[in-house]
Amino acid sequence: PQISAAPSSQLSTATERSSSLHQPPRVPNLIGGTFVNSKSSSFIDVLNPATQEVVSQVPLTTTEEFKAAVAAAKDAFPSWRNTPVTTRQRVMLKLQELIRRDMDKLALNITTEQGKTLKDAQGDVFRGLEVVEHACGMGTLQMGEYVSNVANGIDTYSIREPLGVCAGICPFNFPAMIPLWMFPIAVTCGNTFVLKPSEKDPGASIILAELAMEAGLPKGVLNIVHGTTDIVNAICDDVDIRAISFVGSNTAGMHIYGRAAAKGKRVQSNMGAKNHAIIMPDANMNATLNALIAAGFGAAGQRCMALSTVVFVGDSKLWEGKLVESAKSLKVNSGLEPGADLGPVISKQAKERICKLIQSGVDDGARLLLDGRDIVVPGYEQGNFIGPTILTDVRTDMECYKEEIFGPVLLCMHADTFEEAIKLVNRNKYGNGASIFTSSGVAARKFQTDIEAGQVGINVPIPVPLPFFSFTGSKASFAGDLNFYGKAGVNFYTQIKTITQQWKDLPSGTGVSLAMPTSQ
């Protein structure tokens, strides 16, 4: 690929510093409070998906460096866990202010490395920022429980203590939001953390770490290491790491879940999706079509909450033509260009994979109503662009239906009845989310009850829940039992200690009883 330096404003200060020594600049690790360039001899190019320019290079962190990061986190733990929760909250309070200050820089970095539009990149940061805001209330979130006088003179209470060193492994599609789902909650609970960003777009994690240090997070509380499978396996195997948060594909997620659990670790693993929308004929047509376009093609379909499959019930299938017209009007361009609706997909390989799945749909008998595969964006001829694509008459036995496409491709299916549509959705192995569009409260309520998905939208496309709830994917979209953020997230990063205390004047001369103590 063509090598050229990225404009410095989008890089973290630490990465920029390396550009005087290396061209392209190298993304540093963060170990014990210092940003250090890896001594590795293997680096991966971070490519701008709209141009193929090399933005930076990310190291395959060495075993020694990884061990040093875990050791730094372990060393920082005793003093950090004993730091008052109000102090830990205040670091988050400052961090949220700094993220707001550097929102544009973060968004520019995300657009450059990940490809989404600037406005969408701001949303990526903002949804993570909300988790930081939520962590500012940790004193309340982490509260224990107390029952007085469970027996005469005896009280029992439980406290939620941090686990120790926790780790996070991130996907490419939300370079700011997903690291922010992880480390703010973990560290505000009193844990220390080792973060492994996606090797495809590590820049936002480094900027966020710089901001966390500026906000006053002590050295060693947050560490960052880079790499791919080897470093992930090292995280799974390390005896000092107590819990792993993972977000990404099912292949990686189930591997990590199995390997880390076998070593006795807690794992929360958010994975792939195939989110369906059921469209009832009584739905508000315009609002529904707008929602389908936004949730199907926003971020070029690279959201785990993308609505990728539409099930038209009865006559609502007549709306397909309007859906196609609306999709045609979307502007595909570099995410930096004003007016762009969707940017490129992450890599050449991703584009090839998506195009192959579209072709497999055609070969299996689906009808291609809109084909975005041959799009060329003037000025960005090297970009990994795919225009909005719509396949209809899709059946459940088709490869394009069974696989998560993760691109700007909407699959349309038809059902004669509402019940048939619900059965169709429930047969799918994934359970991240499902939506219904209808003006019938009765249908909506039946949908809410009968649908087997962890996140349900009623007249809204799948929402990423706000941080006072949790991100509740289910079935093959999630492994573990404590979801990300919300109450479950705090429970994930803490363990319960239950204390029973007795304070009373004990009468002298009572005998000893060896019977099981009871509180009668």
Site for ligand NAD in 429-488 (CB under 6 A): 432, 471, 473, 477
Is residue 297 a contact residue for ligand NAD (CB under 6 A)?
Answer: no
Q: Which of 92, 99, 138, 247 binds ligand NAD (CB under 6 A)?
A: 247
360 and 398 Cβ atoms separated by less than 8 Å = yes
Q: Which of 261, 226, 134 is nearest to 186 (CA)?
A: 134
**Segment (H or E) for 415:** strand 409-415
Is residue 198 a contact residue for ligand NAD (CB under 6 A)?
Answer: yes
> CA 332 to CA 335: how far, in whole Å?
9
Strands (E) in 85-164, as ranges, are 145-151, 154-162
CB of 403 to ligand NAD, least distance (A): 10
Q: Which of 457, 482, 459 is nearest to 470 (CA)?
A: 482
Given the complex with ligand NAD, which of 116 and 196 has the nearer CB atom? 196
Is residue 406 a contact residue for ligand NAD (CB under 6 A)?
Answer: yes
Is residue 194 a contact residue for ligand NAD (CB under 6 A)?
Answer: no
Burial class (CB in 10 A: 0-12, 13-18, 19+), 376: exposed
Residue showing tokens 């195939």? 274
> CA 437 to CA 508: how far, in whole Å?
73
**Count, residues near ligand NAD per rule CB under 6 A:** 29
> CA 457 to CA 327: how far, in whole Å?
22
**Which residues contact residue 13 at a Cβ distance below 8 angstroms, ignoring those fewer than 6 apart?**
210
Q: Which of 42, 156, 249, 426 binds ligand NAD (CB under 6 A)?
A: 249
CB of 248 to ligand NAD, least distance (A): 3
DSSP conformation letters of 315-376 = GGGGGHHHHHHHHHTPPB--TTSTT-SB---S-HHHHHHHHHHHHHHHHTT-EEEE--TT--
Task: Tell me which stretch binds ligand NAD (CB under 6 A): 19-27, 196-204, 309-317, 321-329.
Answer: 196-204
Active-site residue among 166, 304, 400, 412? 304
Q: Tokens for 118?
A: 């600037």
Q: Which of 47, 108, 213, 252 binds ligand NAD (CB under 6 A)?
A: 252
Q: Say whether 412 is catalytic.
A: no
Is residue 199 a contact residue for ligand NAD (CB under 6 A)?
Answer: yes
> CA 502 to CA 214: how far, in whole Å?
45
> CA 368 to CA 363: how far, in whole Å?
10
CB of 173 to ligand NAD, least distance (A): 5
Given the complex with ligand NAD, which of 60 and 138 has the nearer CB atom? 60
Measured between alpha carbons, how far is residue 442 from residues 150, 282, 346, 416, 446 in Å? 46, 12, 41, 18, 6
Is residue 173 a contact residue for ligand NAD (CB under 6 A)?
Answer: yes
End-to-end Cα separation, the chain, in angstroms? 77
163 and 453 Cβ atoms separated by less than 8 Å = no
Is residue 349 a contact residue for ligand NAD (CB under 6 A)?
Answer: no
CB of 199 to ligand NAD, least distance (A): 5
Q: Which of 180, 186, 404, 421 binds ligand NAD (CB under 6 A)?
A: 404
Adjacency order of strands within the sheet including 275-279: 367-370, 389-392, 409-415, 307-313, 275-279, 433-437, 455-458
Interface characters, 205-244, with ligand NAD (x: CB under 6 A) = -----------------------xx--x------------
CB of 456 to ligand NAD, least distance (A): 15
Given the complex with ligand NAD, which of 274 and 414 has the nearer CB atom? 274
Given the complex with ligand NAD, which of 263 and 423 has the nearer CB atom? 263
Task: Tell me which stretch binds ligand NAD (CB under 6 A): 87-95, 191-199, 308-316, 407-415.
Answer: 191-199
Is residue 172 a contact residue for ligand NAD (CB under 6 A)?
Answer: yes
Given the complex with ligand NAD, which of 252 and 332 has the nearer CB atom? 252
Q: Tokens for 383?
A: 């970009």
Q: Quick one: how far is CA 149 from the chain centroid?
A: 44
Q: Which of 428, 416, 420, 427 is nearest to 316 (CA)?
A: 416
Given the complex with ligand NAD, which of 198 and 316 has the nearer CB atom? 198
Given the complex with ligand NAD, which of 69 and 283 has the nearer CB atom? 69
CB of 487 to ligand NAD, least distance (A): 17
**Which residues contact residue 359 at a Cβ distance below 8 angstroms, ignoring those fewer than 6 apart?**
none
- Residue number of the CB closest to ligand NAD reads 248
Given the complex with ligand NAD, which of 109 and 432 has the nearer CB atom? 432
Q: Which of 67, 74, 219, 255 binds ligand NAD (CB under 6 A)?
A: 255
Given the complex with ligand NAD, which of 252 and 436 has the nearer CB atom? 252
DSSP conformation letters of 156-197 = EEEEEEE-SEEEEE--SS-TTHHHHHHHHHHHHTT-EEEEE-
CB of 235 to ligand NAD, least distance (A): 9
Is residue 58 a contact residue for ligand NAD (CB under 6 A)?
Answer: no
CB of 12 to ligand NAD, least distance (A): 18
Give catalytic residues, as residue numbers: 304
Residues lying near ligand NAD in the complex (CB under 6 A)? 169-174, 196, 198-199, 228-229, 232, 247-249, 251-252, 255, 270-273, 304, 404, 406, 432, 471, 473, 477
